[in-house]
């Protein structure tokens, strides 16, 4: 897994969730730190985001958060991150997260998590990058999304080959097994905001 030096983790900022989701976030942060993989994420100290960051930091890992200034004003930024990058817009945030990461892992989350995940999937579909996008289906949280993708394929809106844009796995061990298979990264076209 020497080709994976940093992972972008997309996950929810809500703390009012099933404790199993929080446990998965902590376990992922700790596993990344022990593997020497930097955690790149949205910079929050709340919800699953905070759980993953805190666990990585407690295990001696490096954590880079990218957060828009308006969220910093709401005091949700993680002051203990190894590096906290404050940006002006959500677009900047997502671009830096993309640039700083070798792959993406998706934990349970809400609309923001879906937004980030599908932007990276769309970019991959357009061959703007070849970075893996791994969705960890904690307690079946993402099973309805898998069904929706199958429905989109059946209705002709998504090409069958694009089913593989998102790799659904049951747990963290399976996610790391997928990462271990990643070949030398293939550079894609440079992505620029217009």
- Return per-residue pLDDT of the chain as tens, 194 residues: 678 999 999 999 998 999 999 999 999 999 999 999 999 999 999 999 999 999 999 999 999 999 999 887 776 788 889 999 999 999 999 999 999 999 999 999 999 999 999 999 999 999 999 999 999 999 999 999 999 999 999 999 999 999 999 999 999 999 999 999 887 654 555 555 44
Domain count, the chain: 1
194 found inside a domain? no
pLDDT score of 23: 97
pLDDT score of 162: 94
16 found inside a domain? yes
Check which CATH number belongs to the domain holding 83 and give it: 3.40.50.450
pLDDT score of 36: 97
Write out the two tokens for 186.
């293939």
187 found inside a domain? no
pLDDT score of 78: 84
Domain membership of residue 138 as a residue range: 6-180
120 found inside a domain? yes
pLDDT score of 185: 53
Give me the helices (H) in 129-171, please. 143-154
pLDDT score of 90: 93
In total, the chain counts a number of residues equal to 194
193 found inside a domain? no
98 found inside a domain? yes
pLDDT score of 72: 79
68 found inside a domain? yes
Query: What is the SS3 assignment for 169-182?
Result: ECCHHHHHHHHHCC
The widest CA-to-CA distance across the chain, in whole angstroms, is 47
pLDDT score of 80: 87
186 found inside a domain? no
CA–chain centroid gap for 39, Å, is 9
């Amino acid at each position: 897994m020497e080709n994976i030096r940093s992972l972008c983790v997309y996950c929810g900022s809500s703390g009012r969730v099933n404790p199993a989701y929080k446990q998965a976030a902590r376990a992922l942060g700790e596993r990344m730190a022990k593997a020497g993989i930097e955690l790149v994420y949205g910079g929050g100290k709340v919800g699953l985001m905070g759980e993953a960051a805190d666990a990585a930091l407690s295990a001696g890992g490096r954590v880079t958060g990218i957060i828009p200034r308006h969220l910093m004003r709401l005091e949700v930024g993680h002051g203990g991150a190894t590096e906290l990058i404050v940006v002006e817009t959500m677009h900047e945030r997502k671009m830096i997260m993309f640039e700083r990461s070798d792959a993406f892992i998706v934990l349970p989350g809400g609309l923001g998590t879906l937004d980030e995940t599908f932007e990276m999937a769309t970019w991959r579909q357009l061959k703007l990058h070849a970075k893996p996008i791994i969705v960890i289906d904690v307690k079946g949280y993402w099973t309805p999304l898998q069904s929706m993708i199958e429905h989109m394929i059946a209705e002709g809106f998504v090409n069958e080959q694009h089913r593989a844009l998102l790799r659904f796995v049951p747990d963290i061990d399976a996610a790391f097994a997928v990462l271990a298979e990643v070949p030398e990264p293939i550079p894609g076209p440079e992505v620029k905001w217009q």
